[in-house]
Structure formats: structure tokens, C-alpha cells
Amino acid sequence: MWLSVPANTDFSIHNLPYGIFHTGDGQPRAGIAIGDHIIDLAAAAESGLFGKARFFKKIFSQPTLNEFIGLGKPVAQRIRKKVHAWLQQPERPANADRLLADRRAATMLMPIQVPNYTDFYSSIEHATNVGKMFRPDNPLLPNWRWLPVGYHGRASSIVASGTPVRRPWGQIVPKGQETPVYAPSQQLDFELEMAFVIGKNSALGTPISVEQADEYIFGLVLFNDWSARDIQRWEYVPLGPFLGKNFGSSISPWIVPIEALKPFRVKGPRQTPAPLEYLEQKGKQQYDIQLEVAVAAGGAPETVISRSNTRYLYWSMAQQLAHHTVNGCNVQVGDLMASGTISGPVPGSYGSLLELTWGGKEPLSLPGGITRTFLQDGDRLVMRAAAEKDGIRVGFGEVSGVVLEAL
């Protein structure tokens, strides 16, 4: 490959993820990340790299990837192959300077317009930990091992990495009291999640089977489902999450195609009891993606507070999608479906502060004598994810956000 790419980059030639960026000119356009560069797909289209120059320039000059994704996987795969071949030329192409942008200097935007957002609850470790805090004798509810529990969230408050998140107000019940007060959340948390992007519309009334899931899943992003635990605790009965969740969620700006993740497919945990027929799956349906959470608190350097892996998820993405649509619910291009908090079997792999501090009872110790039970104003939370095997690395970059004080 003629382009110099750092050995440990998330964005190797095996990845080639899609995103939306601009370079200070205020003109959003599509790009593919490679090392410390972005291949400007609008400029590449204009140069004739993909054929149909006018058509693809228009597609790649859109402010989101929805129209491109909607063209279908065969088109997306052909674009990746053309870019791969362009990068593999023995000599630097004459149009290289015109097609490349500095990734580190670019501004990344929301890669998609999200029509609908669903959040699942697919980690048995997370569900068990949370259940133990409130139901020590019966942590998992009776339905949990039978179906991927989920809820419909708020698409309008999903933001790109780097966007600050404002501490929300809501009703909370102070300790020792029985009636609520209206106040800023004092238990602001993160949730370490992975989300998949729908790449194909389905018809209303037509379920998507586990076997068909790959046709509909375009790619994955890293996802932080910010959560106000005190607001959530008061409101969630009887209909589940609401204001404790919908004030903000953050996604990484690069969508990693699932084709790039095929080498990292693994079998998930054994499911007991065996799923009902429509949720049965064969082969490797999970991914071995290493996850990391770090916090920079009180002006101190970043400290890693959790390391986990998507392979711990009990319910796979294929099962999530099959269950979501088994009743005939249709999906749309750009729909986002998040995994729910991904926690592992040991405390250092828990995917939320709720678990890491066991409901605030066991504060985390950070450099400089700083402790945290939940996030405070000014804290910066960073998540990273990458899969690595046999010298191949496919990463997601990061999703980050700083907590702003309540208005």
C-alpha cells in the first residue's frame, strides 16, 4: 500500500469504515477512514473512481449516509472494493492529494439521520448485577432468558462523539424520603454499549428472521447510553425508561461494516433454556470486540475504569432484530439498535458506574485522591473499541463526551 498507515491504527485497510465529516468549509460529505487520513468520497466520485461520477458525487455530498446505505449492500461493498484497490496501487496515485483529508483535523458529524432507536438489555451479567441491587433473591425477571428485553428510545437526542451532554433535571426521591423533588440528577451514569445500523427497509407486517439479519445490518457503532439513575429509579415502574434516558446518547462517528468484522465472529454464551424456534441461531453470531471505558475527572489524566467485550452479550444482534420484528414491526434505513450495557463476569469488566460502584456504595479511586460514585460536572467519559486477530485490527475510534452542569 502506497499510503503510510500507523501499525496500531483502528482504521486499517481491513476496516474502511464510513463517516460524515467536514474540513472547516461547512460542507458535510461522506468519507472512509484509513490511518490518519479520510478518503473524501465526494471527491473520489468526481474523479470517476466509482463510475457514474455525477450520481455518486451527489450521493456522497449528502449530510448523512442514509441515501448511500439505502442503495443496498452490493453498492456499498463495490465502493469498499474500489477504495481498497485504489489504496493497494504500487505507486501513489496522481489524484491522492485531492482525495485525502487529515482525519485529525477534520470535524466529524452524525453519520446517519436516525429515524428510530431501540435499546436492548442483552447482557446477562449486567441484568443480574442490577437485579441483585433491587431483588437479591430473584435478580433476573422470569422473561429475561426467553426474549431480548428492550424499549423504544428517543432518536432526536442521539449525538455524535465529542458533543457535550447536559446534566438533566427531573423528579427524584431523596434518600429517606417517600415523595419526589424536582432537581438535577445526582446519579449521572454511562452505559457501555454497541449498536447496529439498519441498512435495508422492511415491509410492515413482515418479520426478519435470524438467518436474514445480516441482510439488514449495515454496520456497527460504539454507543454510550447516558443514564440518570435517580430519575430512572423513580419513573421506570410501570412502563420503563423515559426521562432518565432520553436526554442524550452518544455514538462513535465511524460505522464499521459488518463485513469487516467477519474474522472476529465467535459463539456467544450458551442459552438456557433453549430459545423459542424463531430465536434459534446457529454458528458464530457474536463478535470478539474489546471494549474500554476511561474517565478524566477533576482535571486529572484519563483513567481506564472498565474493560469488557461484546462476546459476553447473551442475546446476539441477529436475535435482537428477529425479536424486534417478529410481530411485523418494520425497520427503516438508519434505524439504530443498541445492545444495552455490556458487562463481563468480573468487577473490572462492568459497563456502568451503577455496577462499578455497586449503586454508589463503593466509590472508585482515581488519581490525585479523586473518587467517583457517579459522574460530576466537567468529567470527560471516553469509550474505545477494537477487534484484533492474526495481525488484523479493526477499530471504532472513540465515543466521548463532557458532562455540563444543569441549567
Q: Which of 326, 346, 382 is nearest to 206 (CA)?
A: 326
| Helix, strand, or coil (residue 67) | helix
Torsions phi, psi of 206, nearest 5? -115, 110
Q: Are strands 158-160 and 249-251 parallel, antiparallel or unpaired?
A: parallel
Residue 355 and residue 343 in contact, taking contact as beta carbons nearer than 8 Å: yes
Residue 390 CB contacts under 8 Å (≥ 6 apart), including other chains:
263
Q: Which of 255, 82, 21 is nearest to 30 (CA)?
A: 21
Measured CA distances, 148 to 30, 224, 282, 318, 359 (Å):
33, 19, 17, 11, 24
Q: Is 26 exposed, middle or buried (0-12, 13-18, 19+ CB in 10 A)?
A: exposed
Catalytic residue among 22, 37, 84, 126: 126
294, three cell numbers: 476511561
N- to C-terminal Cα separation, the chain: 51
Measure the CA–CA gap between 393 and 9, rounded to whole angstroms.
8
Q: Which of 15, 60, 65 is nearest to 35 (CA)?
A: 15
Cβ neighbours around 238 below 10 Å, total: 4
22 is catalytic: no
Place of cell 463517516: 19
DSSP state of 255: B
Letter string b/e over residues 256-289, b meaning 16 or more CB atoms within 10 A of that residue's CB: bbbebbeebbeebeebeeebeeebebeeebbbbb
Cβ neighbours around 366 below 10 Å, total: 19
Measure the CA–CA gap between 250 and 398, rounded to whole angstroms.
10
Cβ neighbours around 141 below 10 Å, total: 11
Task: Report the catalytic residues.
Answer: 126
